[in-house]
Every structure is written in C-alpha cells, then in structure tokens.
C-alpha cells in the first residue's frame, strides 16, 4: 500500500527512482511564458 502511494506521488511530481549508476530523474519545471513587455511611455531627454 505505502509503495503504491509513494509511486503515485512520484509520478504526480515527476520524480523517478535513481537507477544504478545514473542520476535521479527529476522532471524539468514548467515555466510560464512571460507576457510581452509593455510599450515604453513618453520620455523627456535633456542635452547636457
């Protein structure tokens, strides 16, 4: 019972067991696509 729960949670979080001689499998994080930057507003330039 506990083993099944552990495997279900591992699948849910994308974590897998480490195999002999390999690193533990961790699913890459899903990054949200950044929204487009807003257009810059009016600016005032000063000549020195």
List pLDDT tens digits, range 18-38: 666 666 666 666 667 777 777
User: Are 18 and 24 within 8 A, CB to CB?
Assistant: yes
29-43 burial, b for 16+ CB within 10 Å, e for fewer? eeeeeeeeeeeeeee
User: Are 24 and 14 within 8 A, CB to CB?
Assistant: no
Distances (CA, A) of 26 to 14, 16, 46: 6, 6, 53
Q: What is the mean pLDDT of the chain?
A: 72
């Amino acid at each position: 019972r506990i083993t099944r729960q552990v495997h279900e949670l591992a699948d849910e979080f994308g974590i897998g067991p480490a195999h002999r001689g390999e690193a533990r499998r961790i699913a890459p994080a899903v990054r949200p696509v950044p929204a487009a930057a807003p257009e810059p507003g009016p600016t005032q330039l000063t000549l020195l």
